Amino acid sequence: MTPSTAERPQMPVEDFEELAAAAPRHVRLEFVDGRVRTKDPLSVEDFEELARRAPETVRLEYINGKLEVKAVPDGNHRSIYLWLVRQFLLHCPDLDLAPESGVKAEAYRKGRARTDAVLVPVDHLVGHGEWSETDGILMALEITSHDRDTDQRDRIDKPIGYAAADIPVYLLIDREDNTVKVFSEPKDGRYQQVVSHPWGATVELPAPVSITLKTEKLKDYA
């Protein structure tokens, strides 16, 4: 049986121990109730240094001023991403759905979000470092994972962070309630339009993405 999101820890203790051993000396970490936290306020510069030193199995984000750990995708998560890649290749061969892209999100680009993917013109990310400016990003994609921080991270914090960074469209594939949520028209740090569709519906992604997704295939991943 798959653990519920309330029961699954954020990361294994072995990963925490490896992360703590690699952390800069002045970054003090603790492991409480299955979650990694910092004992002191963490600057974005300290976060970037910690993220560079983290073991490959640990994917870190800096969301709303807090250290977060992004869950490792399971098979259904990866299959949904690959299904989307095929759709965009069919409809938009001049665009890339670039996986696991780090972006400078939130107001004043003070957040560091590790997206499941961003939609960009082909070769747009050439020359970028680990954390890209959001200028030129057409859409951010998140596919929810079965961890207990998904609700706050993907449904609340990231829509705010992506809107504040003026990413035109945020596409959320929600595996908890089998919906496709489309956030668009960012203004004053909020998306003005949020439309939810059940899996199986025809979903219109607004400009500048401007494609239609037929989502019946998503039912195979429920």
Give the count of alpha carbons within 13 A of 46, CB side only.
15
Query: What is d(CA 58, CA 81) in angstroms, rounded to the nearest whole number?
Result: 20
Give me the pLDDT at residue 8, please. Answer: 52
Name the band, by pLDDT with cuts 50, 70 and 90, for residue 35: confident
For the stretch 117-142, pLDDT in tens is 999 999 999 999 999 999 999 999 99
Give me the pLDDT at residue 90, please. Answer: 93
**Regarding beta strands 139-143 and 169-174, do their DSSP bridges make them parallel or antiparallel, or are they unpaired?**
parallel
Look at the domain 75-221 and name its fold: tt1808, chain A (3.90.1570)
Entry pTM: 0.91
Compute CA 87 distance to the chain's CA centroid, rounded to the nearest angstrom.
19
Give me the pLDDT at residue 86, please. Answer: 96
Query: What is d(CA 77, CA 112) in angstroms, rounded to the nearest whole number?
Result: 22
Q: Which long-range contacts (CB under 8 A, 24 or more apart) does 85-94 make?
A: 87/211, 87/213, 88/119, 88/211, 91/211, 91/212, 92/119, 92/209, 92/211, 94/121, 94/122
- For the chain, the maximum distance between any two Cα atoms, rounded to a whole number of angstroms, is 51
**Contact present, 131 and 142 (Cβ < 8 Å):** no
Q: Structural domain boundaries of the chain?
A: 13-70, 75-221
Average pLDDT over residues 3-27: 78
For the stretch 136-193, pLDDT in tens is 999 999 999 888 788 888 999 999 999 999 999 999 999 999 999 999 999 999 999 9
Q: What contacts 82, CB < 8 A, 6 or more positions away?
A: none
What percentage of the chain exceeds 70 in pLDDT? 95
How would you classify residue 47: left for phi > 0, otherwise alpha for psi between -120 and 50, otherwise beta?
alpha
pLDDT-wise least confident of 5-9, 46-50, 63-67: 5-9
Average pLDDT, the chain: 92
Give me the pLDDT at residue 10, please. Answer: 66
